[in-house]
Homo-oligomer: A and B are copies of this chain.
Amino acid sequence: MPQFLTTADAGFEAAFAALLGMKREDAPDVDAAVAAIIADVRDRGDAAVIALTEQFDRLALTPATLAFSDTQIDAEIAKVSAEDRAALELAADRIHAYHARQMPEDQQWTDEAGATLGWRWGPVTAAGLYVPGGLASYPSSVLMNAIPAKVAGVQRLVVACPTPGGVVNPLVLLASRIAGVDTVYRIGGAQAIAALAYGTATIPPVDKITGPGNAFVAAAKRRVFGRVGIDMIAGPSEILVIADRDNDPDWIALDLLSQAEHDESAQSILMTDDAAFGLAVVAAVEKWLQTLERRAIAGASWRDYGAVIVVDDLEQAATLSNRIAPEHLELCVSDPEALAKRITHAGAIFLGAWTPEAIGDYVGGPNHVLPTARSARFSSGLSVMDFLKRTTIAKMTPAALRAIGPGAERLAVSESLQAHGLSVRARLDRLNESQPPASITCTG
């Protein structure tokens, strides 16, 4: 039984604040070990990566076998059923269509001073996607990371995916091929992150690393940040469902459980304006927990971090939701668009009871890599923007410099940056000369 809170109760604010402040993840401190691994890979390159892969993944590789060959990939992909392939292709098409609309436009204009200003976007040259091995090896995550990179125009896109004991998920290889990944390295952990960031003789360095991973991977991403760009460091998954009484308790229970089954640290919260409906959902969760394959995980998550919050009305639900800033937010109410207008912080919103969150995990189109742990207050899900960067452009004419240069000179002097001021003054003085000699007329 999860927490059952009612906003009308005297102790609600304290209980809700405790729920907000709840620490659901106790990451082991692997920073020293990770620092040593990164130093080893920087020092010994391929030899270190190979030794660490033998140690951690019980797999003997050589520089020539660090990446899967096309033949190996063909053989693995042949194992995938036609139905699974069709589902992956449907997902890839829809994710591509959604993300293609995210491409921002370059801008350039000339203002009243005569200055030409603007910016333009360009892709990072090379990106590396980390894909966990074992149970958490999700082909859907390959699509969600690789497709925005391809849409952005990344030239070289590689995957690092550990294959403990040599075992690989064929769907991960198929998803990589569908998404246009160039190379799949069968390496993992901090050694993979270090190899992607610094490069080895066999593995060229990338500019950006994205994708989820365990504590070693997360610590390594933090350490190489600055050398390369990284995406967010994701925490355990969360869902908030706001549902009125006109819902099927089974549907809502399954939506809550589909977060809970991810991880014992996942969090599923229901807000409803009807206490009886809340209790019906709790009963439905208990019923489904009897039969779920992952009932141990889902049950622990629901028991330790789950909550049902009975609110006075939907407006109050929106206010509380904004304090939570949930990663996933389902609005199963009669007018979900109206309620959505009151939502200021959420990673992804699912409108109406016909939109279970699981649709968004796979085939909806929007990205499933979303801000966790209240970070939707200040950050966004993965997008094409994560694989682009912007260069600003400025061009002055002599007239533009005459108009705004003196202001720059004045501010430079006020900040005691004399050379800044002189670099403007030298040009303004030239403009004030009546006949600049041709030999020193500047170009551009």
Q: Which residues of chain A have a CB within 8 Å of any CB of chain B?
A: 83-84, 86-88, 90-91, 94, 97-98, 101-102, 104, 107, 109, 111, 113, 115-117, 119, 122, 124-125, 135, 138-140, 171, 207-208, 226, 228-229, 233, 244, 246-248, 250-251, 254-255, 257-258, 260-262, 288, 292-294, 298, 331-334, 336, 340, 343-367, 370-371, 373, 375-381, 383, 385, 389-398, 400-401, 404-408, 410-412, 414-424, 426-427, 430, 440-444
Contact = CB atoms under 8 A, between A and B. Distances in A.
Interface centre among A171, A293, A390, A406, by most chain B C-beta atoms within 10 angstroms, is: A390
Contact of A390 (B125, B233, B381): B381
A104 to B, nearest CB: 7
Given A427-B251, A442-B247, A396 B362 contact: no
5 contacts: A229-B378, A262-B417, A355-B396, A356-B427, A362-B408
A261 B420 CA distance: 9
B440 A248 contact: yes
Contacts of A410: 83-84, 86-87
A383 B119 CA distance: 11
A391 B229 contact: no
A371 B101 CA distance: 26
B356 A407 contact: no
A140 B1 CA distance: 56
A419 B354 contact: no
Contact of A292 (B345, B350, B411, B419): B419
Contacts of A380: 389-391
A233 B77 CA distance: 43
B397 A91 contact: no
A90 B426 contact: no
A307 to B, nearest CB: 18
Given A391-B347, A407-B362, A261 B443 contact: no
B404 A363 contact: yes
Given A359-B405, A391-B347, A412-B358, A419 B377 contact: no
B246 A443 contact: yes
Q: Which A-B residue pairs are the 7 nearest by beta carbons?
A: A352-B444, A229-B378, A353-B442, A351-B395, A366-B392, A254-B423, A87-B410
B390 A117 contact: no
Contact of A393 (B226, B244, B298, B340): B340
A98 to B, nearest CB: 6
Interface of A: prevailing SS: mixed
Contact of A354 (B254, B377, B406, B444): B444
B392 A348 contact: yes
B208 A378 contact: yes
Contact of A87 (B88, B355, B375, B407): B407
Contacts of A248: 426, 430, 440, 442
B393 A362 contact: no
A281 to B, nearest CB: 13
B349 A391 contact: yes
Given A84-B411, A366-B392, 15 more contacts: A86-B407, A111-B365, A124-B378, A248-B430, A336-B395, A336-B444, A354-B444, A355-B444, A356-B424, A358-B421, A359-B394, A359-B401, A361-B412, A366-B394, A371-B389
B418 A84 contact: no
A254 B426 contact: yes
Given A294-B418, A363-B404, A443 B124 contact: no
Contacts of A88: 411
A378 B336 CA distance: 38
Contacts of A101: 107, 109
B352 A443 contact: yes
Contact of A366 (B117, B226, B440): B117
Contact of A392 (B226, B347, B408, B416): B347
Interface centre among A140, A344, A443, by most chain B C-beta atoms within 10 angstroms, is: A443
Nearest to A84: B414
Contacts of A415: 138-140
B94 A423 contact: no
